[in-house]
Structure 1
């Protein structure tokens, strides 16, 4: 089971890296909802761990989550955002690969230290999905406000609608946002 989880996480990371380096239209659900779902799945998976979750495990998992969030925020600031054909387009520069490498090396080092402290759940594969989800959510937390501020809508979803399009749809909305009057924006 652990080997399968490691292979799945490596595949997810490889897929995310490839898509970000090539650049793509950014869809709100993929940017925001998918990492949230991944985080929830990770938390549920962590709760199903056959080993008892001790205080030292929680401390190391929290440290890993903080590390994941920090790298995600940094990735979010590095992503180039632009409007292409009227929708949001994002691309990571190649130099962002060092963030992934640093994140992976730090995660391995944290696992080794956690194991030395007897935090066997934290040193296992159980926290992998939750930390990956937190990383992606942190990146989204930086990218989404940048997109809203630019006024560029997310690319349409499969149903043709743009996720959270009401937040970036017009100059009138931007003036309401500047005035703090959000009621009309959410009535659509």
Structure 2
């Protein structure tokens, strides 16, 4: 890719190969060039939502990227935390922060090869345009313990367009305590086109 990665290019992705390539390129500048520059609020909202639900470790951070959610959880002394992401480059940056126990390179829409089981599952920015749809929920439930707390940000347009509501209904025998709360993904530092973008904080427990 010749241009610096940005939100527009991230939302336009159509394959895992494109996702992996973009985030490999973006890894070193992601925290400052995107997270800080755009006032990216999803990691904090997900972490605070998880904590507010009484979430505890072990936690799986899905689409962990450079570890922005885990930094909040670690400061709250929640752990251990494992990371899963399609991009090894993003996980290399995350490793340097010392907030993860294990780092797993994997496609979360497929069965995840790990012996670990989790009491919590968190995710910020993975269930969004060009990334993961509701098909990513079942593989995560498969490695969660009974009673595990899920706190996932889902881009609001993506939620509506990809049929998350129906997927949640279809999982009613596997999950309970489903809640949705909208929040702004970015603060006023964001590009004008995305300054008012919304995500739903989707939370539930595994039965």
Common topology (TM > 0.5): no
The structure with the largest helix share of the pair is: 1
Q: Quick one: higher RCO (CA 8 Å, sep 6+), 1 or 2?
A: 1
Structure whose alpha-carbon radius of gyration is higher: 1
Q: TM-score, normalised by structure 2?
A: 0.27
